[in-house]
Structure formats: structure tokens, C-alpha cells
Amino acid sequence: MRIILDTDPGVDDALAIMYLAAQEDAEIVAVGSVHGNVPAPVGALNALRVLELVGLTPPVTVGAARPLAQPLQTAEFVHGDDGLGGHAGPPPTGSVAPGSAAEQLVRLARAHPGELTLLALGPLTNIALAVILEPELPSLLRSVVIMGGAVNVPGNITPYADANFFHDPEAADLVFDSGFPDLTLVGLDATEQARVNGEWLAALNSVDSPRARFASRLLDHYGQFYSHMFGEVTCTLHDPLAAAIMLDQNLASYREIPLGVELTGTHTRGQVVSDRRMISSDDHIPATAGAGRVPVKVAEKVDVPRFLDQMFKSLQG
């Protein structure tokens, strides 16, 4: 699979890159950073750092500096001041490529129609900008997998929204409205199942390889945040699960439903909304929440043991 990665590294974004690097059937063609966990320029340098650690050299462009319609907010309180739990280390050897992440996405999609899969692991600002630049983007991509949203479960950064959609609700709603024909949403419904425990972390800690040592350091910081929240040694692998589901859709079950994003709620801005009533236009009930949009495949039940096994193996090398 040939992949364009859009990301805000971010601890779990970094782990997703490491996961992908270990998969024979995954080729990261290009990377774009986006504001989110850290500012977009910081995220681009972190992406370069992690790619260099795993021996990959795709072009990395800097993406949107801020959301479409609200001020920039970042999440260093989860991911550390440098976005990598304080373990970013020295600057990368390589430098960022020219142009923006949205321009890069449009250029590559036009050059390779129907070939590329987009994996979006941060706020969807770059994807929304790319659709504005090229409205045919949905038909130029092979498929799209998004980590974001909470459909039938509580949010994380607010009671209703996950961090990626909270950081740019307008962009997320625009993407759902764009008609991507093969769009999979790996939201908190799925990723909250993808938690590692103290035993898993201890086993990784005992593996003596550069990748495992780096991953252990990242998870140590990230785990402190989650362990404090959940009252047990644990952390949640949101972005790696989205990467894994992109490569192997059998890792989860799905519900197909059109989606929207709440843009005006005082408490619910950024919440995923859907109309699950069994109504048709003949019922003369006003349609709402995503009506008329192309359905999204929402990941639900995850094969957690298989995913965690794959994840562990990918960090061993």
C-alpha cells in the first residue's frame, strides 16, 4: 500500500510511523505535518526524527499552522513540550521539503490517481484545504483512513469530542461533506480498546534495540498521563491502531453511516453527529446530521490481542 501520511507528532503519531516502517506492505510516499499535539513546524521536525530513526526518507512538508475557524490550541500536556515526551533529542539531519502539506497531497494525488491511501492522524485542516484546492480529491485517492472522533463513546479532550476533531471541527465536517467514497473512521470507539498494560510495557522495556528503547521512552511519558487518568498502568495507542486498520481491515468490525460534526454547541463543539433514526424522505421528518452524505465506515469492535501482538513485533527490530 502506498501511503500519504498526515500527522501531528505527537507520541502516538511517532509510534504509528514506527509501526508502518516495520510493515512490508506499507510504503510511506510522503508526510505532511499539521497543528494539533504541537505546532505544525515542530511536528514536521519530529516526523523527520522518527523517520530517520527507522531509516526512511520520504519528503516531509509543513502543513497548516492553525485550524480553519478557531485559534491554535496544542496538547503538550499530553505529549510533552517537544511533542515526544521530552525525548526528541537533537535536530534531524534532513530538512523539510518546500510547499505545504495540502499542496503536496493534491500534487501527489493528481500524479498517481487511484493509487494512494491517505492516513490522517491529526486535525483534518490539511485535508480540508486540499479539498478546497482540488474538489476532485475524493476520486483521486484510493482510500482514506482517519483517526478522530467519538461516535458512540465519550470524547477525550472534552466529554463529547476527541482531540483531533476538537482541534478543527470545521475541517472534520468539510471532509465528511466531501464525498470520499472509501473513508474509514478509526475513532475513540475503536482506539479506546487499544490499551497496553504494565506487563506489555515491561516486556517492551526489556527489548534491547534502538526502536524498542525509543518507543519505551516515549511510552513512559505518555503512559504517565493515561495511568494518572485511568488509575492503572496503561496507555492508549490511537494512531498506531488507525495505521494497523488501514493495512488490515479485518482487525475491526464496522458500521456504515453518514456523519457530521457539531460546529455550534457550547459544550459539544467537535462532537461527531449522525442520524440513526430509521427514517426516509417519505416520512416527511426533517433530515439532519450528515443526511445525504456518503456513509463512513466507523470502526467498532477491535481484535485487540492481534493488534497488540503486531505492535509489539513492529517495535522489536
List the interface residues with ligand BDR, window 31-50 (CB under 6 A). 37
Residue 145 binds ligand BDR, judged by CB under 6 A: no
Smallest distance from the beta carbon of 105 to ligand BDR, in angstroms? 18
Identity of the residue, 157 or 207, whose beta carbon is nearer to ligand BDR in the bound complex: 157
Between the alpha carbon of residue 47 and those of residues 24, 76, 98, 239, 305, the distances in Å are: 20, 16, 15, 14, 28
Residue 189 touches which of Ca ion, ligand BDR, none (CB < 5 to 8 A by kind)?
none
Residue 164 binds ligand BDR, judged by CB under 6 A: yes
Identity of the residue, 75 or 140, whose beta carbon is nearer to ligand BDR in the bound complex: 75
Residue 13 binds ligand BDR, judged by CB under 6 A: yes
CB atoms near residue 133 (< 10 Å) = 14
Cα–Cα distance measured from residue 140 to residue 162, given in angstroms and rounded to the nearest whole number:
28
Cα–Cα distance measured from residue 244 to residue 228, given in angstroms and rounded to the nearest whole number:
27
Residue 156 binds ligand BDR, judged by CB under 6 A: yes
List the interface residues with Ca ion, window 5-44 (CB under 5 A). 8, 10, 13
Residue 187 binds Ca ion, judged by CB under 5 A: no
Cα–Cα distance measured from residue 119 to residue 116, given in angstroms and rounded to the nearest whole number:
10
Residue 75 touches which of Ca ion, ligand BDR, none (CB < 5 to 8 A by kind)?
ligand BDR
Burial (CB count <10 Å: 0-12, 13-18, 19+), residue 106:
buried
Binding site for ligand BDR (CB under 6 A): 10, 12-13, 37, 75, 78, 121-122, 147, 156, 162-164, 238-239
